[in-house]
Structure 1
C-alpha cells in the first residue's frame, strides 16, 4: 500500500554514500555519514546548515555516547570522535585480517552497547559484533554478507538484523539484560524483488521502516512482517532512515549516488541528498 507522503529535499548533499542517520534530541541536530568521503555530518534542520568532520577513514556507522562524543565504526575498527576538537581516538582494531571487508551499519541499544556489523565481497564472510561500555567485544552473528539495518522492538524482546544481498530481514529473541540474541527466524523475505533492504528504524508501534536500495522507496512493515505502507522517493538508492524533529515524527532519509550510471543519475538527479518526510508516527528511542 502506497500512501501520499510529502517528500522534502532538506539538504542538497550529493553524498557518494550517505548513511547512518542519528537524531540528537538534546541539540535537535541530525548526524549522518558519507561513508566513502570519510565524513561525519551534523545537519541543523532549523538553519539548514551542514557541518562535517573528516575522520580520515571509511566510516560506516555512528552513535551518540555523550554530549560531545560519538562512537564510530570505521573500516576495520572502532574509534571515538571528539565533537569539540574533531579528534579521532582509536579504540580497537577488528577484522584487519580481512582487507576486503569493512564495517557498515550500527546502533546503540538502550543499555549503551554498540552493535555494528561488517560487509564482505565474499558471501557469508561478514559478522555482527557488540561493543559494551566496559570495553568488551562480543561476536554476535556470523555467516553474513552485508550486515545492515538493525534495531529493537519497543518491548526489547526482539532484535532485527538485515542481510542485504540475501534480501532478508531476520528477527531474533533478545535478552536486554545480557545482550544475548537467539532463535533467528525470517521476518521479511524480499527474494525475487529488484531491490534490497538497507538501513532501518523502528517506531513506537513496533513497525519497521526499511530503506530499499535500488527500490526508490522506504517500506514500512508491521510487527508481523507485513507491508503496511510505502514512501515513494525521487532517488533510486535510499540507504537508511531515522525519526527526528521536535516531536520525533519527521522521518529523515539518507541516500547514495555511488555506482549509478549517467543515465541512472539523470533519472535520479537528487541521489546523495538528504530527505525529510512528515509522518503521523513517533520513533522508538533505543
Structure 2
C-alpha cells in the first residue's frame, strides 16, 4: 500500500461530514457548528448556510439548488436564492438521526438514518433507506439495513451502493429510472455478520465501519473506516486494495474525491464522533492526499 503525503486543508472544525466537490470547490457540513461551508483548495472557508438541527449529507438537484440532510428533525432541506425550505419531512420513517444522502441525475434523493439513539447509547436497530422524489414524496425504498450511511451511484446511474456502517458491508441495488431499488445483494463483505445488540457489542464486532465514501473510475469505493482511523479502497467482493491512515490521534469519518482532475482525496478527521466531546471544541480537520485513479459517479 502506497505511502502518501497528507496536507491540512482546514482546521478549526467541530465535526466535518458530507464532503463534496462541486463547482470547483469543496463543500462540507459541520455537525456541531451547524454549518454548511464552501472550502477552497487553499483552505479558505465561507459559511453558506446554517442548519439549526445539524447538517449532514449534501447534494444538488437538477435545478442547481442545494439539498441538506437536517439530522435531528429528520428533514431534507432545500437551499436556493438565499433561503432554506423543507423539501421533505422523513420523520415518520426515521428511528434515529437522518444522516447521509445522495442525489440521482433525475433529482431523486436517497437518505439513510441511524436507526436508533446512537448518541444516547441506545440498543442497535436496523434502519430504512428513504427516497425523496422531486415533488417531495417520501417512499421507503429498502429496509432492514444496519446503519445505512455513505452511498455512491455508478456513472451509468444503474447501481446504488450503500455502506452499512454497523454491518461490516456494502450492499448494492439495481436502480430503476423510477427510483425503485431491486436485486439487493452484498457488494462487499468486510467482516463477519454483526449480531450484537448494545452499541458497545456492535462496535466491538466491526472490522470495517464504512462511513462517508466516494467512487473512483475503476469501480472501487474509497470509504472512511469509522473504527479504523483510516480510509480504505474497497474492491467489489470486499478486498481492501489500498488504505491511508489518518493523522495521529484522529479518526476519519468521511472522504471524497475531487479537485480539478478528480484525484484529490479529502478526509474529514476528528478524534471521535460523539456530540458531547466534539461540540465544545474545535479539533476537527480536513486533510487531503493525492491518489492515482480519479472520481466517478455520484456524489
Structure 1's unaligned 5+ residue stretches are none
Residue 81 (structure 1) aligns with: 79
Equivalent of residue 245 in structure 1, options 256, 259, 274: 259
Alignment of 1:55 with 2:51, yes or no, is: yes
User: Number of paired residues?
Assistant: 271
CA distance in 2: counterparts of 1:137 and 1:285, whole angstroms: 24
Alignment of 1:213 with 2:226, yes or no, is: yes
Alignment of 1:17-56 (within 5 A): 17-24=15-22, 26=23, 28-46=24-42, 48-52=43-47, 53-56=49-52
CA distance in 1: counterparts of 2:130 and 2:171, whole angstroms: 16
Question: What is the root-mean-square deviation in Å for CA atoms of aligned residues?
Answer: 2.6
How big is each residue's C-alpha offset from its partner over 1:15-73, in whole Å with a ceiling of 9 and x where there is no partner?
2x21101111x3x1111111233111110114x21122222111121112368631111
Residue 106 (structure 2) aligns with: 111
**3-state SS, counterpart of residue 32 of structure 2:** helix
TM-score by length of 1: 0.85
CA distance in 2: counterparts of 1:251 and 1:259, whole angstroms: 20
CA distance in 2: counterparts of 1:70 and 1:257, whole angstroms: 29
Contact kept? 1:221, 1:229, Cα under 8 Å: yes
What is the CA distance between 1:258 and its match in structure 2?
A: 4.2
CA distance in 1: counterparts of 2:222 and 2:35, whole angstroms: 25
Residue 139 (structure 1) aligns with: 140
Contact kept? 1:14, 1:257, Cα under 8 Å: no
Alignment of 1:120 with 2:132, yes or no, is: no
Equivalent of residue 246 in structure 2, options 222, 230, 233: 233
Structure 2's unaligned 5+ residue stretches are 117-122, 193-204
TM-score by length of 2: 0.81
Contact kept? 1:124, 1:142, Cα under 8 Å: no
CA distance in 2: counterparts of 1:154 and 1:189, whole angstroms: 24
